[in-house]
Amino acid sequence: MRKIDNRAAKKGHVIFLPDKTFFIVSLLNLILGCFAFFISSISMYWLYISLGLLTVITAELLLLLFFGDRLQVKREISSSLAQGEPAHVKLSINTSGAFLPYSIRLYDLYPGSMSSSAFPAKLDRKALASSGAIVFEYSLIPNERGIWRFFSTEFMLSSPLRFWKLRVTHDNINSGRTYPNFKQMARGLDLKGNPEKGDVKQIRKRGHGLEFESLRDYQENDSIRSVDWRATSRNRTLDGRLKLIVRNYQEEQDQQILFIIDSGYRLPDNQFDSALEAMLMLSYVALKHGDSVAAASFGTRDLWIPPRKGMKAFNGLMNGLFDLHSSPIPSSPFSAMEKALSHLNRRSFIVLISNFREEDGESLSWILPRINKRHLLLMVSFNEDIKTSGAESRKKTDEEVLEKAAAYSYLANRRRLYRKWEHSGLLVLETSPAHISSALINKYLSVKKSGKL
């Protein structure tokens, strides 16, 4: 496997390297020269052999220099890739000369964010000589989200007698984007809250929905409160009896969801990736329900994606969030909420994802009443377990005791803060990275069907 950062590759770079025949012949010639130093009768033979070798080595060098690199290469790869999903790459290689090196080894210098086991690859020189062109295909795995670029492809060419190798780098530029793998998030165990697989809980409605949809005949187990008595009074059977008509309700649509994600030090990489995937999954579900979705981030990068409705908006979210990552820099949920309020002109369901601290209660205290008047806020945080090291029976040092006590105090203060927020009317969700998708979708469906929004 050859994994090279393309930013370090030099375009059009050519390097001559001695091959194994060069070292073997040079060593034998040196040994013969040592004998010639002591035996004068063979010194003349050694001199002729040395001049002959020098001529052959020089001829091979010139042959490889002027006729070896007659290759052209072009790469074909999709500009949109999915993280962790194998990507197909096709290299079309052509030659413009009759002479071909003794062997041709290929290295495609793929970005460091990808991996492949296809290289080094030895090309079939006979097929290349007979047709003048061959196609080499391989697959690679995009391991990271973000923008990627291919800059070059490298050939390692050997001379006929294997005295020299020529390493040639050809400019071969491609660029594109690696998106979160939505298919992988939405299938199997990778998504704990897949509505199609029944992992999302079905939340029972409280009374009616929020929007009238249609009238229909009464069915067994329908609530008597759903009967439309005015329509029933006008609907009689042939024998004169009343036929009950009920109102059919659906969840209110055209509501607005805003996601705000912390890209600072509070969310490490694994938690941030889980939160971002959960955002995308819930965005997909909300758009399917007819709601509009907006997104924002704070910390590493201040980002605002305005609210849009319809499934085309999902592509806009993917394009806006695919290269978002967290980094260990300060972040302020208070500032993020203040900026979000300046963008919102209608009641919204705001989902704020971060790891909240005790000090956040004071910084957010004066802005939360403003939010409660016009919006519904859900504070999402990841639960933190206290890690224990060693056997419980082992006597702990004073430092370990103090450290564990501080951890318990921190968790107790954080839970106290969450209870305070819940008493003030906010929604609080504490979950694990593995279950945040299902937890968020369940909370969204619960809010939709309860009529809180």
Coil vs helix vs strand at 92:
strand
| Per-residue pLDDT at 235 | 72
Question: What six digits make up the tokens of 396?
Answer: 């702990």
| Per-residue pLDDT at 192 | 38
Q: Cβ neighbours of residue 366 under 8 Å, at least 6 residues apart?
A: none
CA distance 226 to 224: 5
Residue 265: half-sphere exposure toward Cβ, Cα within 13 Å: 6
| Per-residue pLDDT at 269 | 86
Residue 308: half-sphere exposure toward Cβ, Cα within 13 Å: 15
* CATH for the 6-179 domain, from 3.40.50.300, 2.60.120.650, 1.10.3720.10, 2.60.40.10: 2.60.40.10
In Å, how far are 202, 275, 313 from 253, measured between CA atoms?
A: 18, 25, 16
| Per-residue pLDDT at 262 | 95
Integer distance in angstroms from the first to the last C-alpha of the chain?
A: 54
Q: pLDDT tens for residues 193-211?
A: 344 444 444 444 433 444 5
Give span(s): CATH 2.60.40.10, the chain: 6-179
Q: Cβ neighbours of residue 94 under 8 Å, at least 6 residues apart?
A: 71, 72, 73, 132, 133
Taken in order 359, 361, 365, 367, the sign of the CA dihedral is positive
| Per-residue pLDDT at 450 | 76
Give span(s): CATH 3.40.50.410, the chain: 184-203+253-450
Q: What is the pLDDT along the chain (453 residues), one digit of tens a residue?
A: 344 444 333 445 788 888 889 999 999 989 999 988 888 888 888 899 999 999 999 998 888 888 777 889 999 999 999 998 999 999 999 988 777 888 899 999 999 999 999 999 999 888 888 888 999 999 999 999 999 999 999 999 998 888 999 999 999 999 999 998 877 665 533 333 344 444 444 444 433 444 545 566 767 666 666 776 676 777 766 566 777 777 655 555 578 999 999 999 999 988 999 999 999 999 998 998 889 999 999 999 999 999 999 889 999 999 999 999 999 999 988 888 889 888 988 899 999 999 888 788 887 877 887 888 889 999 999 987 655 544 455 566 767 666 666 666 667 777 788 888 877 778 899 999 888 888 899 899 888 877 777
What CATH number was assigned to the domain covering residues 184-203+253-450?
Answer: 3.40.50.410
Q: In the 8-state DSSP scheme, what is residue 10? A: P
CA distance 192 to 194: 6
Size of the chain in residues: 453
